[in-house]
């Protein structure tokens, strides 16, 4: 299965690295597009004006200078990856996303953005 991982805690966060390890060990092709820094509480913000820098830090791994939603947009609309994804997983989150917190969550926004593209998606808190 082709899986895209994202989050709002940034590409260096423990949760996304552990998730990638577990999914890779299970035989999935895992790709990462995550913010270059912590973006909690950004909700579904997107960079409309301004510069986005996308950096490949390893094969199939990019960090993006924008928001979690930007990470999904650039992964799909700017062809960072040459394949379609079977599922987009956003998380594992550092901290809680409970009740109305999901409105403000960048992690949830990345999953919502994937759903807009018709991808299967999953949010992990």
Query: Which residues constitute the domain of residue 90?
Result: 2-123
Cα angle for residues 102, 74, 64 (degrees, 5° grid): 75
- Kindly give, in sequence order, each residue whose CB lies less than 8 Å from that of residue 93, ignoring residues fewer than 6 positions away: 7, 8, 9, 15, 105, 107, 124, 125
The CATH number of residue 52's host domain is 3.40.1210.10
Report d(CA 89, CA 19) in Å as an integer: 9
Q: Residue 24 has what pLDDT?
A: 98
pLDDT tens readout for residues 102-114: 888 999 899 889 8
Q: Residue 100 has what pLDDT?
A: 82
Q: Residue 78 has what pLDDT?
A: 81
Q: Residue 125 has what pLDDT?
A: 44
φ and ψ at 14, to 5 degrees? -60, -40
Residue burial 29-48, b: 16+ Cβ < 10 Å; e: rest: ebbbbbbbeebbebbbebee
Q: Residue 121 has what pLDDT?
A: 60
Q: Which residues of the chain have pLDDT under 70?
A: 119-125
Q: How many distinct structural domains can be found in the chain?
A: 1
């Amino acid at each position: 299965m082709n899986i895209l991982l994202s989050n709002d805690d940034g590409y260096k966060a423990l949760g996304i690295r552990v998730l990638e390890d577990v999914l890779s060990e299970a035989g999935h092709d895992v790709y990462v597009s995550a913010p270059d820094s912590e973006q909690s509480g950004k909700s579904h913000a997107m960079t409309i004006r301004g510069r986005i820098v996308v950096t490949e830090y390893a094969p199939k791994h990019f960090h993006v200078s924008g928001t979690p939603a930007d990470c999904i947009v650039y992964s799909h609309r700017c062809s960072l990856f040459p394949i379609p994804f079977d599922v987009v997983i956003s998380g594992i989150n550092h901290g809680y996303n409970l009740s109305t917190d999901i409105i403000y969550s960048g992690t949830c926004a990345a999953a919502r953005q994937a759903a807009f593209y018709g991808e299967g998606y999953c949010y992990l808190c």
